[in-house]
Amino acid sequence: MSQASAETATLRTVSAFTPGTAIPHTFEMFLEEIENDTEAPIDIDFIGGPETMPPFQVGNAVSNGVVDMAFVTSAFYTSSLPAAHALNLTRYSPEELRETGRFEQLQEMWREQMNVHYLAYTNYGNRYHLYLNEPISSPELNGLRMRITPVYRAFVEEMGGEAAQTPPGEVYTALERGTVDGYGWPIQGIFDLGWQEHTRYRVDPGFYHVEVGVLVNQDTWDNLTDEQRNYLTEKAIWLEEQNALNEEINAEEERRQAEAGIETIEFEGEERERYLEMAYRVQWERLAEEHAGNAERLREILDSE
């Protein structure tokens, strides 16, 4: 961090997602909002996206102070904060997390274990789906090979799918060659990657919520003035309010997918309930097996009454 003047701090900022794509669109609005505010006590020095820093290094970079602020999903820094991707399982919206004091508990945990201030939770309401090239009639994958991330590996395996962890940049070729039968991805973003060209089905309902956080290095945060911290917090709450845009964006994505020839496989009634119950149950169980202490603490924050 540098002080551009006595009243203004400059934050070196990086994104784990390619600018101009679906996932970072509200974060880019946030950057623009600050840039256009002539009285802002904060300047943003936006370095760039994955072309400037590999996505899985972004968490460490903001933790260690290589950058001051980062836009990154928790699934990319679980080596620094085990079970961080439990954030995808929240039963509370960011607004509800703040109103109930749970957001402060998350901030305390991120500060203790990662030396960052968790500023904002974006992409809530953008749910994950399974996309397939073979039809299924029930929540069973029966050996289908699925491209996964740690966020939904346990769910895919519970349904009998074979998990294949492939970088996003290699998925198009894997679909084209038939080396995977499908993948998990949010409702938003497959057109950015061209995957619709090799996708025949989307499974509904969606499950979990995408989580991409805005993290500020803790030392940087502590060195800001009260005015600067308050300003960023106000803008963070504004940014989280933009999650409401997802309902309309999701509907448009569903329309585009249908237009591209992607058919919907929709589970209803008891099958729908079983599908969703399984999704949450097996992921919490997997997190508890692998990272008991953090999983228990996060479940108390994100999933308790």
Radius of gyration of the chain (CA): 20
Question: Which residue, 178, 201, 194, 183, is CA-closest to 262?
Answer: 201
Structural domains for the chain: 2-125+209-247 (3.40.190.170), 128-207+252-303 (3.40.190.170)
How large is the average pLDDT for residues 29-55?
96
Structure confidence by residue, pLDDT tens digits, 136-159:
999 999 999 999 988 999 999 999
pTM here is 0.94
pLDDT computed for residue 237 by the predictor: 98
How large is the average pLDDT for residues 152-168?
93
pLDDT computed for residue 6 by the predictor: 58
Confidence class for position 127, pLDDT limits 50, 70, 90: very high
